[in-house]
Amino acid sequence: MIFLAIAATAVAVIFILLFVFYRRQVKKTCCQLAFLKSHQTNLRLTSGLPFRELNELVDGMNEIIDLSREIKQNSRQSEYHLKETITNLSHDIRTPLTSLDGYFQLLLKSESEEERQRYIAIIQTRIGSLKDMLEELFTYTRLQDEGYELELEPLDFGACVYSTVFSFYEDFQKKGIEPHTDFCDGHLLISGNEEAIRRAVQNLIKNALEHGGTQISFLLFRKEGFAGFRCSNQVTNGEEIDIGQVFQRFYKADSARTHTSAGLGLAIARGLVEKMGGTATAELKDDIFSVTLQFPCLDFPPRNAL
């Protein structure tokens, strides 16, 4: 009987101690949670007891805390990017609007018909630039939607590139530029969207005309089962170009942002190409800036195929 009494007392003492330790741990965990709630810190909850269930509970709470920190960090980054976007948009849209207001004032004050026609032509050009900028913003916004898809079909990539490049003939003539072209022969069948491909190629050419020098070259090639187009142009500010950022939204090597574009041309080109399963890469070598678009080639069906 005495032995049983001693054993029962020992068990009771153990249970009491366990209860005390559990209460201390719960109180300690509550204090840690309160501290984490009121302080910006990377500390995590800790447990000093060797009990599997309690340690699993602490580990689970730490996972929730880590997830909460990640959500907060992503939220801060999103807020920062939103502010940056609004700032850039405000600047880029305000510039042509200010210019328009100035020329409208000159138009109202002018008494010369020749001057009035000149101001009207400039105003129309500025309105066109503003429309192009807003169209860029609209396209870029659509590309950010993960659910946005392009309708793809087999098409001749080479023919599409050739006609798009040729459409800039007058632009090259006005700037006194004779681009060097190296186009491979034959058909380059890919799965793509003709309008999207034209838009991507146009953006590359516009970027070269706007930011490049007088040396512009185009390369159309087929290599290892891929059809590719490369647009290259000489640059005078190569040291200012961050090649890792050229496809980012609103990126401009011209820190003064003197051009009238929104800085979305290359970002849109890459977005469209990737929506079609292709790739867009950039390279800067010896003051020659190049952007290359590549798509997997499709084989033409047999002539007797239905």
Question: Has residue 24 been placed in a domain?
Answer: yes
Question: Has residue 123 been placed in a domain?
Answer: no
Question: Has residue 162 been placed in a domain?
Answer: yes
> What would the pLDDT profile of 257-301 be if each residue is shown by its tens digit?
445 555 678 888 999 999 999 999 999 888 889 999 999 998 644
Q: Are residues 58 and 173 part of one domain?
A: no
> What would the pLDDT profile of 88-113 be if each residue is shown by its tens digit?
667 667 777 888 888 888 888 888 88
Q: What is the mean pLDDT of residues 149-162?
A: 92
CATH code of the domain containing 209: 3.30.565.10
Q: Are 218 and 180 in contact, with CB atoms under 8 Å apart?
A: yes
Instruction: State residue 280's pLDDT score.
Output: 93
Question: Has residue 250 been placed in a domain?
Answer: yes
Residue range(s) defining the domain that contains residue 228: 153-296
User: Lowest mean pLDDT: which of 126-130, 179-183, 267-271?
Assistant: 126-130
Domain boundary among 39, 73, 107: 73
Instruction: State residue 252's pLDDT score.
Output: 60
User: Which residue pairs, CB below 8 angstroms and at least 24 apart, start in 242-248?
Assistant: 243/282, 243/283, 243/284, 246/282, 246/291, 247/280, 247/282
- Single out the residue of 222, 178, 231 nearest to residue 201, CA to CA: 231
**More confident call, 117 vs 130:** 117
Domain boundary among 27, 45, 73: 73
> Which of 197-201, 250-254, 257-261 shows the highest mean pLDDT?
197-201
Domain boundary among 73, 103, 129: 73
Question: What's the structural domain count of the chain?
Answer: 2
Question: Has residue 186 been placed in a domain?
Answer: yes
